[in-house]
Amino acid sequence: MNIKTLIPQHKSDFETVEKLKKYSFEEIEPIIPELLEWLQDGNWPISKEIAGFLIQFSEQISNELVKILKGDDEIWKYWILFTFRKSIKNQLYLNEIERIIQNPTQSEIENDIFEMVKKISTN
């Protein structure tokens, strides 16, 4: 099977998400970046389903999450932080959280990323 067929094709592709849930992390690892793209907007219908599936692999995908947090897509950062909150103990991820607390960009402040991180770190 071509693993790329487990990447949803549209915002309501629940059929593909259900198929995805049958696979192990090792099997889906090559498509993690593409799956994370579906978390760019938590209002998309399949976003919650994919998030619920990926959260069990929080530690394994933490490096990919750090890349997103270091990027400039503030809405994506928001949904990553909202989804994974404190489920990750990876030091690189925690360092990026600390960076946002200590030295947020103007965009992170304007888009409530800074506020989200403050809430996460105090809970």
pLDDT over threshold 90, residue 87: no
Q: Identify whether 101 is part of a domain.
A: yes
Q: Identify whether 5 is part of a domain.
A: no
Closest CA to 88 of 40, 52, 55: 55
Q: Identify whether 83 is part of a domain.
A: yes
Q: Identify whether 48 is part of a domain.
A: yes
Q: Identify whether 54 is part of a domain.
A: yes
Residue bearing the bigger pLDDT, 87 or 49: 49
**Contact (Cβ atoms closer than 8 angstroms) between residue 35 and residue 44:** no
**Residue 107's domain spans which residues?**
12-122
Residue linked to tokens 């978390």: 39
pLDDT over threshold 90, residue 120: no
Average of pLDDT values for 41-49? 95
Q: Identify whether 74 is part of a domain.
A: yes
Q: Identify whether 67 is part of a domain.
A: yes
pLDDT over threshold 90, residue 88: no
CATH of the domain at 82: 1.25.40.750
Domain count, the chain: 1
Q: Identify whether 7 is part of a domain.
A: no
Closest CA to 77 of 55, 56, 98, 100: 100
End-to-end CA distance of the chain: 43
- Mean pLDDT over each residue of the chain, to the nearest integer: 93
Summarised one tens digit per residue, pLDDT across range 5-22 is 999 999 999 999 999 999
